[in-house]
Homo-oligomer: A and B are copies of this chain.
């Protein structure tokens, strides 16, 4: 066979060649929606690559992006890696400390910044040791900023060549992108994506039994392009020529629903919090979301009532997807298998609450001290993964040795395997509750609590206990204007769980602390709770 490398340039060429008339819809501010074709986008992408090259971009150089989901970010998504450089997608929600650390650690030499995010970078610019040029994504030709060596993105493009050629000698194992993932202790950890990994991941996202991304789609990832490649959806969409809807800054459930309706979005993807908000908004103000063929949800577990509402009431398949920064990210999806066709709705919803079946080319293993866990839906173990889009290290980081062992990535997720081989995450290793030597799944308890109509969010954490080492404590947040009592909540839990699983107490909070990407920060929650609840 020809040694043709798997590189993103093939995706770019394909969109430019065959899909020049397909559309990119980009919400660039609260009030503005910009539309361009793939043909226009391709020219602009070549111009951006030329402009970056003139600024000194070279093979292997790190170029940071600090931006929302919008068309210029999608230009950088291809201009940088197709030139042989590495796009470092910087998470805009990190603390200034973390931002300083990751930009310096990655050694970003150029930083491309969304106009409204410039103040954040201005605050830390004095400490950025490697950045030589700042490019501001704005409609204006002139930029006003305290940043040194700052350019207007559009001005640079005006002076660049739309026929600029990408190098023809890229190799598939060259780095193409990188992201940092927050760590429980210490600074964020960097993960580098190769062309090969991103290409294989994208192809897999277009398989029927996956997200099935196709030419006829109008994809709208809510998951940010600064967070693990927006789950790979922009790359896959370019490859198959799907139109893309980019949701822009400061979106709300209302904005998301309005865009689904007006842009006839077919596929969307985000964390459960997004869909909980969207469902509430949809109930208050109905929209036509019938264009949707699938909602993909990941990041944390979806409560069954949420799944059921979308699948039954709105007739939109709602699939859980699973992955992490270390895995490009998607490695498993909860699609229904053909033998589930006739299952009752409860059983089907139970499938959707799992993380699903591992994708082709990915090997999953769930092990505990007795080896691989049986397919009983009960025995817990740590999930580990292997495959061609799983990273093999943290970038220049000694913590590599903790997570990457014996050819596996140890995910730190505790999971069971259902009778159909589906993976169901029950906890993070670090969030696990171990009571009297037995494991208790916080996720199962949380899902049960969230079935109460008044509960907006629930997090179950371990608190130290003299006799049992640890005991579960439930923290719940009520929906605005709703009420619920402890007794009602225990009433829900009692028939579902063994007595020793029941939380020792249930506390009502105003909010649950979250990471920059919307996941529960249980370590922080434990600290908070410890302050006012030390007696357990």
Contact = CB atoms under 8 A, between A and B. Distances in A.
Contacts of A17: 421
A-B complex: 8 closest residue pairs judged by Cβ atoms: A208-B214, A1-B197, A216-B338, A206-B207, A4-B388, A2-B392, A1-B194, A18-B421
Contact of A337 (B4, B215, B387): B215
Nearest to A208: B214
Contact of A6 (B194, B213, B363, B388): B388
Interface stretch (A8-16, A268-276, A308-316, A467-475): A8-16
Given A18-B357, A203-B207, A213-B208, A392 B173 contact: no
Contacts of A389: 1
A201 to B, nearest CB: 10
A167 interface: no
A343 to B, nearest CB: 14
A71 interface: no
Copies in the complex: 2
Contacts of A13: 363
A193 interface: yes
A21 interface: yes
Contact of A1 (B216, B240, B390): B390
A386 interface: yes
Nearest to A193: B1
A10 B360 contact: yes
Interface string A329-361: 000000101110000000000000000010011
A181 interface: no
A209 interface: yes
Interface string A455-499: 000000000000000000000000000000000000000000000
Q: Which of A1, A192, A207, A328 has the most CB of B within 10 A?
A: A1
A61 B10 CA distance: 35
B360 A2 contact: no
A293 to B, nearest CB: 11
A388 B1 contact: yes
Nearest to A18: B421
A173 B208 contact: no
Contact of A360 (B239, B338, B421): B239
Given A6-B361, A216-B337, 18 more contacts: A1-B194, A1-B389, A2-B392, A3-B392, A4-B390, A5-B388, A6-B200, A10-B360, A18-B420, A18-B421, A199-B361, A203-B204, A206-B209, A206-B360, A207-B208, A208-B208, A208-B212, A209-B214
Contacts of A197: 1
A82 B240 CA distance: 31
A389 B203 CA distance: 15
B206 A2 contact: no
Contacts of A204: 203
A227 interface: no
By size class, the interface of chain A is: 35 or more
Nearest to A360: B239
A213 B360 CA distance: 13
B1 A339 contact: no
B18 A215 contact: no
A386 B206 contact: no
Contacts of A360: 10-11, 14, 203, 206, 239-240
Interface in A1-52: 1-6, 10-11, 13-14, 17-18, 21
Interface string A401-419: 0000001010000000000
B388 A2 contact: yes
A88 interface: no
Interface string A377-401: 0000000001111111000000000
A267 to B, nearest CB: 11
A317 to B, nearest CB: 14
A424 interface: no
A522 interface: no
Contacts of A338: 215-216
A365 to B, nearest CB: 11
A196 interface: yes
6 contacts: A1-B196, A2-B392, A18-B420, A200-B203, A208-B240, A209-B240
Contacts of A212: 208
A390 to B, nearest CB: 5
Interface in A224-273: 239-241
A380 B532 CA distance: 80
Nearest to A391: B1
A210 to B, nearest CB: 9
B339 A21 contact: yes
A387 B2 contact: yes
Interface string A174-216: 0000000000000000001110110110011011110011111
Contacts of A335: 215
